[in-house]
Structures are given as structure tokens and as C-alpha cells.
Structure 1
Amino acid sequence: MSTAGLIPTLVVDDDREVAGIHTGFLLAHGAFDVVGAAHTGAHALELVEELQPRLVLLDIHLPDMSGIEVLRALRNRPGEPLDVVAITAARELDTVRAAVAGGVLHYLVKPFGAAVLNQRLDHYVAYRRELDAHAGDSSAALDQQRIDQLLRTTTGTGGGVTPAATTTIAPPKGLSAPTLDAVVLDLAGQGRGTSASEVAARLGMARVSARRYLEFLVARGQARIVPQYGSAGRPEKFYVWTPPPG
């Protein structure tokens, strides 16, 4: 049973030590109650039914099934939808697209710092507060302003944009929105920046395509270029994720 007033949360990660670290982050935050931890997909699904969490922190790489399969099973279960935050080292475009299609609120790429996770947790708490404010009349119609506010608290826009907010970007002709999401997720996970070649290698795309997406983000002010000088002295463009000021 979860502590009153706290958000019951299930941690799912194949690495017990990592699951313990995530549990520590959640407990230190103060708004979450970790009701359980699972290290396989099957156990995660069992604990969801047994413990009835509101939030699941979900790894993608699990020993018995993928986190995407777990996500799909959660979406097909009856009852109130569960909130899911993906926390994983998986960077493949197909995986990111499947996670976004499955309705994850955030997709965090390992490794990341405590500040990054705490920011996402803060956004989630704000999102839950918005939902709870309407809990007494869940069938009530919301106007556009309230809907926009709800989406902002989900993605963190207006208080520090998160990678999950990239789905609101309308890319120009020739650029794909899902691929743009994947590029932003990858870029935001590289603290000191990354080159177009590195993005292309991680996402399995052509370097020239990766550079087009990165340059688009630079033009929007969501990335900046930092020259990196190699041994030959010729600078290479490194791209750094630059969220707008809160």
C-alpha cells in the first residue's frame, strides 16, 4: 500500500543496482513512494496488477521481453491508464518511435545526471496535480487553454523544455517528425555535445541526414554549435542541446 499523498511508483530495470539508484532518486525527491521493483518484464506486469502503481519507470532492455512489449501490455490492460517514463540506454529510432507511440511521458537516455531526472520528475508531479485538479469531474470538457496547460506540464514546456516536447515541433518538408524526436532525444542525452557523424551512427541514419536535423535545431535555437579541434587542427562541428530559458 502506498503512503498517502505520494505517487505510487514501480521501478523496472534488469540491473538491480540501477533499480536501487532510481529508487533512491524517487525517494529523495519526496513526491514518490516506490511500491516495488521488477527486474523482468513478466514480473513487472505481475507487480502492476498486485500493487496498482500510478507511475512506472520502465527500462527497455529486459531479459525476458522488451520494455516495448511491456508497454504495449500495459496499454492493453483494462482500467485507468498507467503513466510510463522510459529510462534506458536504447537509442534505436524504431525503439524510440515505438515508445512514443505507446504514450511514454518522457524518454530518458542513460547515462544522465540527477538534475535531469529530477527535472522530469518535477514535470510529472505538475502533470499529476493538473489531472487531480479535475479528478472530481473527469467527464468535464476542458477548453483549449486548459488542455494546453496540461500538455505543458507533461512535457515541461514553459519550465525548461524536455526532449519529450519535441513532438510539438513541426519540421519543414523533407524532415520526419519521428526522426526529429529521435535526434533530439539523442542530442539531449549528450551532455558535452556530439557530432553529426556520431548521431548518424547511433541512430542508423546517413550523416548528411543527421546534419540536416541538427542544423534545423540550431536554426530554431534548440541547439548550438561548438567547434572541436582535432589533432590536425581542423575544427569539427559539435552540436549541444540548448533548451530555452524557463
Structure 2
Amino acid sequence: MIRTLVVDDDFHVARAHTRSVEKVPGFTVVGEARSAGEAQQLITQERPDLLLLDMYLPDRTGLDLIRELAAAPGGGVPDFILITAARDIESVRAAIQLGAIYYLVKPFAFAALREQLEAYRQWRQRLSQAREADQETVDTLYSMLHSPATHARQRRKLPATMARVLEVVSGSPEPLSAADVAESLGFSRPTAQRYLGTLVQRGLLDLNLSYGTTGRPEHRFTPHRT
């Protein structure tokens, strides 16, 4: 489970964020903080993986909190999604420089938060499975976080079975063949090939040719790299 700390000075907003996070599979909320100081204490106690972080807090800004965590001796900064009404470009720029996973502008729909959380969950899974940081792996990891909204909108339009095929390929640390997907999901190879071909046409998967000892290319599929 991805341990999440909600940081917002408004009790009702924080509780709404908590309910939203806990609707997304793979996430659990380990606490709610109303200030940067309280957040620091809970981060030390709970060691969350992710912060849902408001910009404007009573004692200092959310970005000030991140700076302090980064500067603390032996301290670590959890991943964070900034949630704020701030629309100035300098705030966006500072959030990006400090490593924000995403920047959600209030008000937003639950679907927007869910898309980012799902993208983050898949990114963590892919990162944990990666064996080395070759260029293809790095490109994939960047694209998983930097274009989730576009891909999520496309995924919502997919039939359930096709979405399962996309999920299997997206979660694999290695390129997969149609035979690999068929075995994983209990399909016939032609059925898996048909779904994979459609996902390539929709720009959600990339097709790569791998040449074996026979000289005949084998089709292997990876998540689309933007």
C-alpha cells in the first residue's frame, strides 16, 4: 500500500481528500495535518510515501515545508502532489524545481486526482521492477508521470479486456510479446495480438521488433513513450 499523508488546513477539505485517496486501490491515508509543523511531525512518525500537500498553510507554505525537509540533516522528502488554488507561474515553476509529482489546481474533480494517483502507483511499480536505468527505462518512467492525464482519458474509453491488456504491458519491466500477454491473461495468441495492435494504433503502446537467432523479427510491446 502507498502510505499517503494529507496536508491541508481546512478540516473539511482534508477529509474530502482522504476519502478520495482511499477510493483508489493501492493507497491508504496514514494521517491528516493542518499545518506544516504538524506535517513534519507526522512525516517523522509515519514515514509516508506520498504527500497531498496544500500550498497555503497557517505557519508557512507547502513548498517551504519541502525545502525544510530537503535541507534537514539525514532527512528525506516524500514524493508530493501539490494541491492549491495558486495559479501563478512562479509557484508552478518552484513546485517543478522541488520535484512535485504533479500540480493540481483547485477546484478539481475526483477523476483528476484519481488519474494522478493511478499514474503514480504504476510509476512506483515500474520503478521497483526496473533492473537498470537504461534510456528506454528512463523515458518510460518520465512519460508515466508527465502524461498521465492524456493517457488516462484514453484508457477510460477502452473496453475492459483491452484495458487489462494495457495494464499487463504497462506493469512489465520488460517488453512483452503477444504470446506473453496471452499466457498472462489466458487468451489465445491471435486475440492478444488483435488487442495489442489496436492499442498501438491508439498510441498507448509502442511496437518494437526484436531479431532472434532465426532472423525473423519478433513483435514486442512496451508502453508508449511521449
State TM-score, norm by structure 2: 0.63
> In the aligned structure 1, how far is the partner of 2:44 from the partner of 2:29?
15
> In the aligned structure 2, how far is the partner of 1:146 from the partner of 1:159?
20
Which residue among 12, 15, 26 is the counterpart of 2:10? 15
Kept in 2: contact 1:7–1:33 (CA 8 A): yes
> In the aligned structure 1, how far is the partner of 2:36 from the partner of 2:149?
35
Which residue among 91, 94, 97 is the counterpart of 1:98? 94
> In the aligned structure 2, how far is the partner of 1:109 from the partner of 1:82?
20
User: Once the two structures are superposed, what CA deviation does each residue of 1:124-183 show, in whole Å capped at 9, x if it has no partner?
Assistant: 11111012214xxxxx64110000011111223595289xxxxxxxxxxxxxxxxxxxxx
Q: Which runs of 5+ in 2 are unaligned?
A: 154-225
Cα drift, residue 69 of structure 1:
0.3
Cα drift, residue 70 of structure 1:
0.7
Cα drift, residue 99 of structure 1:
0.9
> In the aligned structure 2, how far is the partner of 1:49 from the partner of 1:157?
30
1:130 and 2:126 correspond: yes
1:145 and 2:140 correspond: no
Max Rg structure: 2
User: Once the two structures are superposed, what CA deviation does each residue of 1:71-130 show, in whole Å capped at 9, x if it has no partner?
Assistant: 112223435541010011111222111111111010000000111111111111111101
> In the aligned structure 1, how far is the partner of 2:151 from the partner of 2:132?
28
The more displaced of 49-58 and 88-97 is: 88-97
- What's 2:32 paired with? 37
- Look up the SS of the partner of 2:22 in the other structure: helix
Aligned AA for 2:107? P
Q: Which runs of 5+ in 1 are unaligned?
A: 1-5, 135-139, 163-245
> In the aligned structure 2, how far is the partner of 1:118 from the partner of 1:156?
14
Which residue among 146, 169, 185 is the counterpart of 1:155? 146
Closer, same or farther: CA 158–63 of 1 in aligned 2, 3 Å: closer
State TM-score, norm by structure 1: 0.58
> In the aligned structure 1, how far is the partner of 2:53 from the partner of 2:70?
13
Closer, same or farther: CA 62–80 of 1 in aligned 2, 3 Å: closer
> In the aligned structure 2, how far is the partner of 1:158 from the partner of 1:141?
27
Closer, same or farther: CA 15–125 of 1 in aligned 2, 3 Å: same
Cα drift, residue 10 of structure 1:
0.4
1:53 and 2:44 correspond: no
- Look up the SS of the partner of 2:23 in the other structure: helix
Root-mean-square deviation over aligned CA pairs: 2.1
Kept in 2: contact 1:10–1:37 (CA 8 A): yes
Q: How many residues align?
A: 153
Aligned AA for 1:143? D
> In the aligned structure 1, how far is the partner of 2:107 from the partner of 2:92?
16
User: Once the two structures are superposed, what CA deviation does each residue of 1:217-236 show, in whole Å capped at 9, x if it has no partner?
Assistant: xxxxxxxxxxxxxxxxxxxx
Kept in 2: contact 1:123–1:155 (CA 8 A): no
Closer, same or farther: CA 55–19 of 1 in aligned 2, 3 Å: same
Which consecutive aligned stretches of 4+ in structure 1 deviate over 2 angstroms post-superposition?
74-81, 156-162
Aligned AA for 2:84? T
- Look up the SS of the partner of 2:51 in the other structure: strand
Closer, same or farther: CA 94–161 of 1 in aligned 2, 3 Å: farther
